[in-house]
Amino acid sequence: PPIIVAQQLGKTYRSGKIETHALRDATFTIDRGEFVAIVGPSGSGKSTLFYLLGGLTRATGGSVTIDGVDFSSLSDAERTRKRGQKIGFIFQRFNLLPTLTARGNVELAHSIADNGQPLDQNLLHHLAELLRIENRLDNRPSELSGGEQQRVAIARALITRPAIILADEPTGNLDTENSETVLEMLRHASKEMGQTVLMITHNPEAAAIADRILYVRDGRLHDAPPPPRESRKS
Ligand code: ADP
Ligand code: ADP
């Protein structure tokens, strides 16, 4: 069965008499292990979709089921815990906690997920090696470059072995080399680890490595395969 099932999913923001239909009637499924890029102009509803899929906000219409769990039927506390267990988040601005070291940030994500398992030190070691941050784990974010901070944020997202990885413009603040590392890790997560990756992006090179592209326009979704490789510019 698909890991994400959205049915007529919608979100309307209300402030006073003003209503904004940020997302309307989104019906789609996403399979386990798929790598999906979410593309669209600014204000089209991408972040709203991201927040809905991440259980960070409540839908005002329709439903979304994530790995068998209907997030709309959970209490806030349960939703937070399920989110921590099932979803790894990666943000454009890294969002590391400044008072903790890199290792502390990764450990905190693990303890929030609260899945009763001790932190897998082998996995941490393996991720740190792949991400080339072995020597940075005892540094705080302010002591790290942007590329290093994002690589720590990826270790934090992956340490819980989430079924789903949600990435919001993960390469938006990175140079070409760091962008490539990030995209390789996401591709690896999808193709080798079977994790489902959803990535908002403005970067055509990032969208091109996805299995599928969801275009968002004026709050509506349009599904399409990525362009064929031959026609891509390199
Ligand atoms: P994108 O991520 O594609 O830029 P968003 O999902 O952030 O799009 O926004 C979609 C629409 O919803 C926009 O018109 C935006 O102004 C509006 N919107 C987003 N968040 C809020 C909010 N918290 N309150 C009111 N309107 C919002
Ligand atoms: P990257 O290619 O990963 O973005 P940089 O070339 O920007 O890295 O940085 C080179 C080295 O300098 C890295 O090891 C990084 O940790 C270190 N560095 C960068 N910014 C800072 C800082 N503000 N404080 C301490 N060390 C830093």
Distance CA 217, CA 221 (A): 7
168 Cβ inside 6 Å of ligand 2: no
Mutate to test the pocket of ligand 1, among 11, 12, 15, 48 (most ligand atoms within 8 A of CB): 48
Q: Which atom of ligand 2 is nearest to the CA of 174?
A: 4
Q: Coil, helix or strand for 22?
A: strand
Distance CA 55, CA 70 (A): 10
Structure tokens, 7? 């049915």
Determine the distance separating the centroid of ligand 2 and the alpha carbon of 96, expressed in angstroms. Answer: 16
**pLDDT tens per residue across span 121-162:** 999 999 999 999 999 999 999 999 999 999 999 999 999 999
Mean of the pLDDT values across residues 206-230? Answer: 84
173 Cβ inside 6 Å of ligand 2: no
Determine the distance separating the centroid of ligand 1 and the alpha carbon of 17, expressed in angstroms. Answer: 16
Mutate to test the pocket of ligand 1, among 20, 39, 52, 220 (most ligand atoms within 8 A of CB): 20
Question: If pLDDT is split at 50, 70 and 90, which confidence band does 234 have?
Answer: very low
Mean of the pLDDT values across residues 67-82? Answer: 84
pLDDT of residue 225: 65
pLDDT of residue 13: 96
Question: If pLDDT is split at 50, 70 and 90, which confidence band does 1 have?
Answer: confident
pLDDT of residue 44: 95
**Nearest-CA neighbor of 22 among 46, 56, 58?**
46
Q: Which atom of ligand 1 is nearest to the CA of 13?
A: 25
Phi and psi at 147, nearest 5°, equal -65, -40
Residue 171 in this model has a pLDDT that exceeds 80: yes
